[in-house]
């Protein structure tokens, strides 16, 4: 989800990847044998649908799935163009750009940058620097690729310290990056590592049924510990500095972190 402001109104974008989790074993199953078709939709805060962003009519979707997981908007009240960026993480591993009316403009796949995206799960329009930049969490490649708002590649980083970047949220001049491998990495103004919240243990991925637990009786929700993340996925920050983290597992979990 992404909350934006247009004129004097707050609006909510929702990315629906088009498949749903089975409660019994935590796998994702499509409702049809046809390619999955997700949706990107904008709502008012009373739940009224405002705008539905059409899937781009590209050859890659003739027989391929469209599974959007994140939206980023170059908001006009910040001086932006109103362009809308959409990450198709689980479909074609690409990022699409649309203008504010929803007209398709271009697609990024990483080949003009550090390399082809593999599961670009999250995108974020970063305004902490002198010029705004588009950050792409290239999750399976364990890095973040950075583009200008025209779609030109600028640089990549994180290959030496990230393990599974999945979500972004600004925290003052810092940036929070959720990682499925049990932690949040805190980046400073120059995207240097300042801290980690939670502990990364590479052995966790080898747990049967990860991110859940499995035994001879099947797959079930894992035993969770209040002081340790399981699989941080999405993240948001409120005006009081509280951090909200969603975790990916059977039944999900929402964690609130309160500043000291």
Q: Which domain holds residue 54?
A: 2-160
Q: What is the CATH number of the domain that holds 105?
A: 2.120.10.30
- Return the pLDDT at 32: 63
pLDDT single digits (tens) 159-199: 999 999 999 999 999 999 999 999 999 999 999 999 999 99
Check pLDDT > 70 for residue 31. no
User: Is 10 contained in some domain?
Assistant: yes
- How many domains does the structure of the chain reveal? 1
Residue 119 placed within a domain? yes
Range 190-224 burial, b when 16+ CB lie within 10 A, else e? ebeeeeebbeeeeebeeeebbbbbeeeeebbbbee
Tell me if residue 205 falls in helix, strand or coil: helix
Helix ranges (H only) for 70-120 are: none
Q: Is the full-model pTM beyond 0.85?
A: yes
* Average pLDDT across the chain, whole number: 94
pLDDT at 24 over 70: no
Give the model's pLDDT for residue 225: 86
Each residue of 128-163: pLDDT tens digit?
999 999 999 999 999 999 999 999 999 999 999 999
Q: Is the pLDDT of residue 66 over 70?
A: yes
pLDDT at 26 over 80: no
Given a cut of 90, whether residue 23 has pLDDT beyond it is: no
In this structure, is residue 258 part of a structural domain?
no
Q: Is residue 103 part of a domain?
A: yes
């Amino acid at each position: 989800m992404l909350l934006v402001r247009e004129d004097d109104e707050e609006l909510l974008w929702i990315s629906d990847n088009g498949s749903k989790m089975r409660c019994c074993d935590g796998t994702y199953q499509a409702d049809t044998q046809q390619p999955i078709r997700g949706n990107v939709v904008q709502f008012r805060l009373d739940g009224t649908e405002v705008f539905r962003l059409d899937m781009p009519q590209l050859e890659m979707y003739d027989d391929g799935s469209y599974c959007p997981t994140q939206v980023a908007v170059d908001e006009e009240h910040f001086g932006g163009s109103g362009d809308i960026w959409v990450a198709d993480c689980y479909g074609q591993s690409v990022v699409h750009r649309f203008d504010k009316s929803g007209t398709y403009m271009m697609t990024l796949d990483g080949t003009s940058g550090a390399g082809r995206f593999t599961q670009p799960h999250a995108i974020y329009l970063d305004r902490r620097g002198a010029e705004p930049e588009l950050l792409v969490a290239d999750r399976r490649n364990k890095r973040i690729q950075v583009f200008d708002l025209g779609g030109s590649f600028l640089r990549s980083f994180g290959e030496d310290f990230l393990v599974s970047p999945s979500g972004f949220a600004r925290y003052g001049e810092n940036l929070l990056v959720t990682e499925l491998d049990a932690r949040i990495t805190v980046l400073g103004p120059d995207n240097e590592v300042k801290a980690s919240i939670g502990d990364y243990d590479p052995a966790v991925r080898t747990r049967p049924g990860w991110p859940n637990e499995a035994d001879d009786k099947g797959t079930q929700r894992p035993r969770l510990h209040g002081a340790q993340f399981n699989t941080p996925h999405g993240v948001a920050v409120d005006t009081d500095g509280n951090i909200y983290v969603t975790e990916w597992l059977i039944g999900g979990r929402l964690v609130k972190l309160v500043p000291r």
